[in-house]
Amino acid sequence: MLNPFKYLYGPVQSWRLGRSMGIDPLSLKHKVCNMDCVYCQLGPTLSQESQNKSPALSDESQRRTFVLTSDILNEVGMLDPDEQFDCLTISGRGEPTLAENLGGIIAGIKAIRKEKIAVITNSSLLWREDVRQELMKADMVLAKLDALDQDSFNRVDRPAAGVSFGDVLQGLWKFRRGYKGYFSLDVMLVETSVDFAASMVVLAKSLEPDHVHLNTPLRDSPVKPLSRYEMALVRTSFEDLPVTTVYDEESGHFLWNDPAIVRRHGRPRHSLT
C-alpha cells in the first residue's frame, strides 16, 4: 500500500540510517531551500512566488512554520505502535531547519515514539543559537559539508545571498562542541569536488565526527556521479576517519512507485557507470 500520509513518507531502507520513516516539516509542492546545489536530486530551488529559478529563503527572517506541529504529531500518532523503525528521520523536500517549529516537532515525537530521531541538514543555519539548541534534542544529526572554502561552496552548493561558508563552518564547530548525540558529516562528491576533496579531510577531522558518509548522486541529478573507482580514490584520503561510501551500501531500497518518496528523494537513474 502506498503512503497514506501527507507529511510522513516511507519507510525507506537508508544506506546511512537503516529502516527509516521520513518526516517532512516543509511539505510544500516545491522544494524549500536556501541552497541550489548543482547535484540536487529534487531539481532546482524555486521561489515560492513565481516558480522561477532564483535563490530562495536567504536569511533568518524566512524561517517559519510550514506545517503545524500538531498536524505532524497527529500523523506520527497514526503509525502502527507495533511497527518498529531504526529511526524517524526529519528531512524531506528542502532544508528542515527552515521550519521554526523543528524543536517542538522533535520533542513531540519523543513523547509518542521510542525510536531515535535523526535530522538531515545542509548546515546553513547552525550559526544560529536557536537552531543549534533545537537540534540538540535530536538523537542523530547528519550535517552536510561539501566544500573547502567560499569558492568551492559557491560552485557546488550555490547558496542564496547571505549564506556564507564561514558561517557554515563556525556553526558546525559550535554545534559539535555541545552536541552529545551521534554526529556524522555527509559529503556529496561530484566531478568538480574531486580536486579539493582530499584537502577537506583536515576540516572533517577538526569536527570529530562519529562517522563520515561519502555520497555521490546515484539518483536522477543534473550532474554525473563519481564511479566506484573515483569514490574509492577519494575514500583513501579519509582513511583515518570512520567512513562509509554510498557504493559500500548501494543506494538503499525505496518504493519508487510511491509519489511521497519520489518527491522527497528524487528518482533512480536508469543506469550507473
Q: Which CATH class for the 8-186+252-265 domain?
A: alpha beta
Examine the pLDDT at 197 and tell me if it is beyond 50: yes
Cβ proximity of 145 and 203 under 8 Å: yes
Q: What is the pLDDT of residues 85-100, one digit of tens each?
A: 999 999 989 999 999 9
Residue whose grid cell is 576540516: 203
Examine the pLDDT at 200 and tell me if it is beyond 50: yes
Report domain extents, the chain: 8-186+252-265
Examine the pLDDT at 249 and tell me if it is beyond 70: no
Quick one: average pLDDT of 145-163? 95
- What is the H or E stretch that residue 183 is in? strand 182-188
pTM score, whole prediction: 0.87
Cα–Cα distance for residue pair 260/29, rounded to 1 Å: 11
Comparing CA positions, the residue from 63, 52, 60, 78 lying closest to residue 25 is: 63
Cα–Cα distance for residue pair 110/119, rounded to 1 Å: 13
Examine the pLDDT at 56 and tell me if it is beyond 70: no
Instruction: Please name the residue ranges forming H helices in 85-222.
Output: 102-110, 129-135, 150-156, 165-178, 194-197, 200-206
* Across 88-92, 107-111, 227-231, 259-263, least confident range: 259-263
Mean pLDDT of the chain: 87
Take residue 110 and report the three cell numbers written for it.
519523543
